[in-house]
Structure 1
Amino acid sequence: MKVLMVGSECTPFIKTGGLADVLGSLPQALKSQGVDVRVVLPKYENMDDEWKRQLIHEEELTTPLGWRQQYAGVEYIEYEGIPVYFIDNEYYFKRSNLYGYDDEAERFVFFNRSVMEMLVSWDWTPDVLHCHDWQTGLLPVFLHTHYKEVEKFQGMKTVFTIHNLKYQGIFAQSVLHDLMDFDEGMMREDTLEFFGNINFMKGALNYADFITTVSETYAEEIQTPYYGENLDGVLRMRSNELVGIVNGIDDQNYNPMKDDSLAFPYRSSLIKKAQNKMWIQEQLGLPVRKDVPMIGIVSRLVEQKGFDLIGRVIDELLYHDDVQMVLLGTGEYQYEQMLQWVQDRHPTKMSTNIRFSESFSRQVYAASDLFLMPSRFEPCGIGQLIALRYLSAPIVRETGGLADTVKAYDEKTGEGNGFTFANYNAHDMLFTIRRAVELYHEPASWQNLIKNICKSKFTWKDSASQYMDLYRSMFE
């Protein structure tokens, strides 16, 4: 089985979010199951120089872009046995950020078309072209239109993975002819048309052989108007070709026993975990107390992540309850300011850290007893998976991947690995936090919860097996 993964970011080369973690880990897991897998990315300016220096120039392409012909370089590196290719064009990708430019449509039409031109030139042809998020959404479209007569592409299958339906790649209709070389015939509901504009992701949903998203619950949710972002109708039509596969985490990378970021490495010892809590309390100027439950938050500070709920009840929690909270993240100004003010009002209970640091995030996971993630929607989520790995009990809203990976602890049966609430409601969240804090002070129940958490395994090996089953099913 030969698989080409195409995405807009990938660890360790370039990252803004969870998509990069998937592109960095899933190919390795597939390779271990015998797949010949390769990865293609744009070559961005802000890749670390250490990677740029190792790139080998492979070939030069001429990419058709409407009435223009644009240069596309192909550069290559082998990383841990995986061939990774980079599409190079300084006009489009030599910029300080990955996304957010006025010519975003042109940049990613170019990227998609260059990938197709590269495949035409290669001797190696994938069985499966696996595309990730809207930035690659035109690949299934191009395969079935501009490249449908290419002999070696006959029989190639496409899989499109939705990592977050909210971001779709919606642009003006003028892009259709000017950049894609399509006529008005592609302005139909079963192609790219979307309320008078064109939609890259909708194109993928219409043309891909199979659609996946990153959890079973999210696959169900996005077929409803509330979560469907105006694409729920298309997704309901494709429901027979839509599945959810939960992302894994690299359990060797996220391993509290071997994590160099931690002051006190541990496997399952709550004593050593408590030492990490006291260490971070000292570092942050919080009262050093082993007995106080610490709630960790590592997150982008945006509405999707539930910060409206947190803002509504955080003062009530910190005024009345004996807890500490440590937050790490950046995001929207209103939430950054709100959380900074919370620290000003509760300096002995709240540490607000408006920045991001990979090593400090791991220290927060290791130090926290509870990990709060009250998302309005969450396609998969990685924070709760890392929290489980570091023995921090997640407190989550029952949505998307959070619902699939965190099960509410039941004191009668002793089953469950965290705490959950269903409604997007601040006081439901507060009640759940208080229930978790109450359980923390019941040693026997807490020990049993930790035992359950130790058994919670979400590895890429399991996810890769499900993708393998999917790939094979398309050829049966």
Structure 2
Amino acid sequence: MNILFATSEAVPLAKTGGLADVAGALPKALCGRGADTRIIMPKYEDIPWDFLERFETVDVFSVQLGWRIQYCGLLKGVVDGVVYYLIDNEYYFRRHGLYGYEDDPERFVFFCSAVMESIRRLDFRPDIIHCHDWQTGLIPFLLRRRYAFDPAFAGTYSVFTIHNLRYQGIFGKEKMMDLIGMGPEIFDDYGLGHNDAANCMKGGLQFADKLTTVSETYANEIQHPFYGEGLDGLLRWRAGDLSGIVNGIDTDLFDPMNDPAIDTPYRNSLPRKRRNKLALQRELGLPESEEIPVIGIVSRMVEQKGFDLIEGVFGELLDEPVQFAVLGSGDWRYEEMFRYAAEHRKDKIAVRLGYDDGLARRIYAGSDMYLMPSLFEPCGLSQLLALRYRTVPIVRETGGLVDTVRPYNEYTGEGSGFSFSSYNAHEMLYTIQRALRLYKDENAWKSIVLNGTKDDYSWSRSAKAYLAIYEQLASKRKEQESWPVTS
């Protein structure tokens, strides 16, 4: 099978969040299972030159956006054994950063149109176009509406993956009609219209042949109003085509035995892991002690990630026998909360604002516990990285956190972490206090840590599940090709 990943970001070329990790790692795993999987994405200014120099231009053509005729360059290169195609247009993509511009809708309508026109010019024909989030949501729509009878796309199917339903690519109907050159008929009940606006996410949900999201629990949650972001009715209607597949992590890239960013390599040895704790405490200026548990946080500091819960009981948390190692950035109020605490409780908390990949790895390796009290979490990679580094997750029971962290049962000895169900600050506090009590029991703690090594969260398992979906569509195509031709 030939699979084309259409994505707005992918590691190692460009990243703002977990989408890039998935789009960069999953194709490698699929290629390893025999599927020719390639990636197409914008050529951003932020892509490092040492990657860009591997690319060469394979075609130059024009893309029409309504009355506009826009230049498009198609580049091809190989990164980490995977073929990448880049869509080049300096007007739209030669800017610092990937998103956050006023004309983002136009930029990604252009990208979707350019992907469709690029497919005519690729050196392979995709059986499946796998699209990701709202930035590529128009591709399934265009495939079924504009290119439905185009021989170049005969037998081509689409899969659309929801990484975060909250971000939908919403803008005015007039703007959408202007950009794609189609009339108001595209906004009927089965079109792009939603709440009297154009909705790119809905394009993917409505027109893709199969839908996936990044955990089984999140696939169920988004069919209900609280998590459905206004699209729960459509998702219930498409429930038969919706699957939840938990993301994986690159176990070679994130390996505490071979990670050059950390102080001491280790696998399942708690004494060796605790040398990394001492090194982290030393680096962050915290009192060095193997006995004091360290809770790590590496996150965007926003309400979705549960920082309002931390804010609600922060004083009580700092009174516990614990230290916090925090890395991230986000809302000013949470940054200020941590900055103030770090200045006045230097024995309890160290904060680094921004992002530093090396420090993030040292926090995963040097912490005893990892706190992730999210309001909602489609999948989450941080808890998987924590488990990989033998750090015990403390999570709220939502989305992928439910599917990946098994709560510890003191009576059976089963479980790899701690969890709480209600979105309540004191329930979180009590769960943390329980974890701190069990940390003092060396045998129980060792059992919890080792339990976390028993699950497979590599991309190999996820790739197998995606291949099953692709194969369903391939079988459908073969069935259609076998139908008799009637005059």
- 1:104, CA displacement in angstroms? 1.0
Aligned partner of 2:147: which letter?
Answer: Y
- Per-residue CA deviation, residues 381-415 of structure 1 (Å, 9 max, x unaligned), is 00000000000000000000000000100010111
Cα distance in 1 between the residues matched to 2:242 and 2:44 = 32
- 1:437, CA displacement in angstroms? 0.6
Secondary structure of the equivalent of 2:58? strand
The TM-score normalised by the length of structure 1 is 0.99
**Percent identical residues:** 48
Q: What residue is the counterpart of 2:449 in the other structure? A: 450
Q: What residue is the counterpart of 1:12 in the other structure? A: 12
Secondary structure of the equivalent of 2:395? strand
- 1:189, CA displacement in angstroms? 2.4
Q: What residue is the counterpart of 1:43 in the other structure? A: 43
- Per-residue CA deviation, residues 145-187 of structure 1 (Å, 9 max, x unaligned), is 1111211312211000000000000011112221011101011
Residues 287-298 of structure 1 correspond to what in structure 2 (within 5 A)?
A: 287-298=287-298
Aligned partner of 1:398: which letter?
Answer: E
1:181 aligns with 2:170: no
Cα distance in 1 between the residues matched to 2:81 and 2:389 = 29
Cα-Cα RMSD: 0.9
- 1:137, CA displacement in angstroms? 0.3
- 1:23, CA displacement in angstroms? 0.9
Q: What residue is the counterpart of 2:151 in the other structure? A: 151
Q: Which moved more, 1:459-468 or 1:49-58?
A: 49-58
Aligned partner of 2:260: which letter?
Answer: D
Q: What residue is the counterpart of 1:232 in the other structure? A: 232
1:365 aligns with 2:364: yes
Secondary structure of the equivalent of 1:235? helix
- Per-residue CA deviation, residues 402-458 of structure 1 (Å, 9 max, x unaligned), is 000001000101111000000000000000000001110011111111110121320
Aligned partner of 1:63: which letter?
Answer: V
Cα distance in 1 between the residues matched to 2:152 and 2:376 = 41
Contact 1:60 1:71 in 2 (8 A): yes
Aligned partner of 2:155: which letter?
Answer: G
Q: 1:161 and 1:264, CA in 2 relative to 1: closer, same or farther beyond 3 A?
A: same
Q: What residue is the counterpart of 2:485 in the other structure? A: none
Cα distance in 2 between the residues matched to 1:46 and 1:383 = 24
- Per-residue CA deviation, residues 235-283 of structure 1 (Å, 9 max, x unaligned), is 0000000000000000010000000001111111100111111111111
Aligned partner of 1:168: which letter?
Answer: Q
Secondary structure of the equivalent of 1:201? helix
- Per-residue CA deviation, residues 299-347 of structure 1 (Å, 9 max, x unaligned), is 011110000000111211112x111111000111111011111222321
Q: Which moved more, 1:291-300 or 1:50-59?
A: 50-59
Cα distance in 1 between the residues matched to 2:255 and 2:249 = 10
Secondary structure of the equivalent of 1:361? helix
Residues 428-467 of structure 1 correspond to what in structure 2 (within 5 A)?
A: 428-467=427-466
Q: What residue is the counterpart of 2:302 in the other structure? A: 302
Cα distance in 1 between the residues matched to 2:84 and 2:285 = 44
Cα distance in 1 between the residues matched to 2:201 and 2:318 = 43
Cα distance in 1 between the residues matched to 2:214 and 2:385 = 16
Q: What residue is the counterpart of 2:92 in the other structure? A: 92
Cα distance in 2 between the residues matched to 1:360 and 1:48 = 21
Q: What residue is the counterpart of 2:75 in the other structure? A: 75
Secondary structure of the equivalent of 1:248? coil
Contact 1:61 1:114 in 2 (8 A): no
Residues 110-189 of structure 1 correspond to what in structure 2 (within 5 A)?
A: 110-189=110-189
Contact 1:176 1:183 in 2 (8 A): no
Cα distance in 1 between the residues matched to 2:348 and 2:82 = 46
Aligned partner of 2:473: which letter?
Answer: M
Secondary structure of the equivalent of 2:330? coil
After TM superposition, the runs of 4+ consecutive aligned structure 1 residues lying more than 3 A away are none
Q: Which moved more, 1:404-413 or 1:144-153?
A: 144-153
- 1:298, CA displacement in angstroms? 0.5
- 1:121, CA displacement in angstroms? 2.7
Aligned partner of 2:209: which letter?
Answer: D
Aligned partner of 1:78: which letter?
Answer: V
- 1:293, CA displacement in angstroms? 0.6
Secondary structure of the equivalent of 1:340? helix
Cα distance in 2 between the residues matched to 1:431 and 1:218 = 25
Contact 2:74 2:87 in 1 (8 A): yes
- The number of residues matched between the two structures is 475
Cα distance in 2 between the residues matched to 1:123 and 1:406 = 43
Q: What residue is the counterpart of 1:475 in the other structure? A: 474
Aligned partner of 1:300: which letter?
Answer: R
Q: What residue is the counterpart of 1:341 in the other structure? A: 340
Q: What residue is the counterpart of 1:397 in the other structure? A: 396
Contact 2:59 2:121 in 1 (8 A): no
Q: What residue is the counterpart of 2:266 in the other structure? A: 266
Q: Which moved more, 1:245-254 or 1:53-62?
A: 53-62
Q: What residue is the counterpart of 2:421 in the other structure? A: 422
Aligned partner of 2:116: which letter?
Answer: M
Contact 1:388 1:456 in 2 (8 A): no
- 1:123, CA displacement in angstroms? 4.8
- Per-residue CA deviation, residues 22-60 of structure 1 (Å, 9 max, x unaligned), is 111000000010001110000001111212222111100
Aligned partner of 2:136: which letter?
Answer: T
- 1:66, CA displacement in angstroms? 0.6
Cα distance in 2 between the residues matched to 1:363 and 1:176 = 46
Cα distance in 1 between the residues matched to 2:338 and 2:410 = 33
Secondary structure of the equivalent of 1:329? strand
Contact 1:297 1:326 in 2 (8 A): yes
- 1:355, CA displacement in angstroms? 1.9
Q: What residue is the counterpart of 1:213 in the other structure? A: 213
Aligned partner of 2:197: which letter?
Answer: N
Q: What residue is the counterpart of 2:331 in the other structure? A: 332
Contact 1:315 1:342 in 2 (8 A): no
Aligned partner of 1:127: which letter?
Answer: D
Aligned partner of 1:468: which letter?
Answer: L
Q: What residue is the counterpart of 2:284 in the other structure? A: 284
Cα distance in 2 between the residues matched to 1:272 and 1:315 = 32
Aligned partner of 1:3: which letter?
Answer: I
Secondary structure of the equivalent of 1:256? coil
Cα distance in 2 between the residues matched to 1:428 and 1:372 = 13
Q: Which moved more, 1:62-71 or 1:230-239?
A: 62-71
Q: What residue is the counterpart of 1:352 in the other structure? A: 351
Unaligned runs of 5+ in 2: 476-487
Unaligned runs of 5+ in 1: none
Secondary structure of the equivalent of 1:455? coil
Contact 2:247 2:457 in 1 (8 A): yes
Contact 1:417 1:456 in 2 (8 A): no
